[in-house]
Amino acid sequence: MEAIKNRYEFVILFDVENGNPNGDPDAGNLPRIDPETGYGLVSDVCLKRKIRNYVETVKEDTPGYRIYIKENVPLNRSDKEACEYVGVPDDPKKLKEAKKQLEKEGRSLDRELLDFMCQNFFDIRTFGAVMTTYVKGALNCGQVRGPVQIGFARSVDPILPQEVAITRVAITTENDAKDKKTEMGRKYIVPYGLYRAEGYISANLARKTTGFSEEDLSLLWEAILNMFETDHSAARGKMAVRDLMIFRHDSELGNAPSHKLFDLVTVQKKPDVIAPRSYRDYIVSVDEAHLPDGVQYRRMG
């Protein structure tokens, strides 16, 4: 598959209702928040996890669309597959010797290992990865900077997380059952929050490094739009992607600075709304009249 030829920027709008979109382990799993401003945060790692999970669900390890960073699968298990494919030992002590031998044959071990990983794993082609899994540096499938990058999402307005007490009838131990019939617990929720995330796609990195293709791009858009649909849980409440706004450049390196494109997208709550409680409480607009030359815009959602 041929790599993409156009640079892209995109804006994702998603919301949460009565749920915790991204708990902070350093704060007792409270929803992430900027303490200075009160704006809610969702990490890039969280969003990429949802995209990976969707691709894994719909592709089910189809060749070329496997997921490298996944639950209960050690990274060096996949790295060893690359060594087997290239025909070199995965023993750290022997790998250096094999590398020298391949160099004599005019082959680059690092490049061949990297190509195998990019061809077989969708998330490496997309987001990149650090694939050095032996601490002392023998097994090294490379460090890939992926063409697709997503920043932290931030809420459009400040959020007010709530701590909700709950009771359960399931008692943990026999001793506890002698003294009580219920146990107390706590959940943290955001009553409502609309979040905005911004992303970048480099056609230059796709061509030079990972081979991220038009087929991969279509799957990425599909995964973004549906990233919460296969990942519902009581803890996260009602989450949905409301809008995906895409800017396509006519060239590989781009026709306008990304910040100017992001500035064209404005999200404001309606004048009569004090405390937003739904997506309908906002006005979303894109200033297409000031779209730079060489940049096309489309909206999905």
- For residue range 98-124, list pLDDT tens digits in order: 778 878 888 877 788 888 899 999 999
Tens of pLDDT along the chain (301 residues)?
A: 799 999 999 999 999 999 999 999 998 899 999 999 999 999 999 999 999 999 999 999 899 999 999 887 777 777 778 777 777 776 666 777 777 887 888 887 778 888 889 999 999 999 999 877 554 444 566 688 999 999 999 999 999 999 888 887 777 777 777 777 777 778 899 999 999 999 999 999 999 999 999 999 999 999 999 999 998 998 899 999 999 999 999 999 999 999 999 999 999 999 999 999 999 999 999 999 999 999 999 999 7
Q: What is the pLDDT of residue 99?
A: 75
To 5 degrees, how large is the angle CA 49–CA 241–CA 166?
A: 75
Nearest to 57 by CA among 222, 240, 243: 222
- Can you tell me the distance from the alpha carbon of 49 to that of 230, in angstroms, rounded to the nearest whole number? 12
Nearest to 78 by CA among 112, 120, 109, 125: 120
> For a pLDDT cut of 70, what percent of the chain falls above it?
94
Q: What is the pLDDT of residue 135?
A: 44
Rg of the chain, C-alpha, whole Å = 23
Within 10 angstroms of residue 62's Cβ, the number of other Cβ atoms is: 11
Q: Is the dihedral of CA 38, 17, 49, 243 positive or negative?
A: negative
Q: Residue 262 corresponds to which amino acid?
A: F
Global confidence as pTM: 0.90
SS3 per-residue string spanning the chain:
CCECCCCEEEEEEEEEEEECCCEEHHHCCEECECCCCCEEEECHHHHHHHHHHHHHHHHCCCCCCECCCCCCCCHHHHHHHHHHHHCCCCCHHHHHHHHHHHHHCCCCHHHHHHHHHHHHEHHHHHHEEEEECCCCCCCEEEEEECCEEECCEEEEEECCCEEEEEEECCCCCHHHHHHCCCEEEEEEEEEEEEEEEEEEECHHHHHHHHCCEHHHHHHHHHHHHCCCCCCCECCCEEEEEEEEEEEEECCCCCCCCHHHHHCCEEEEECCCCCCCCCHHHEEEEECHHHCCCCEEEEEEC
Cβ 211 vs Cβ 119: under 8 Å: yes
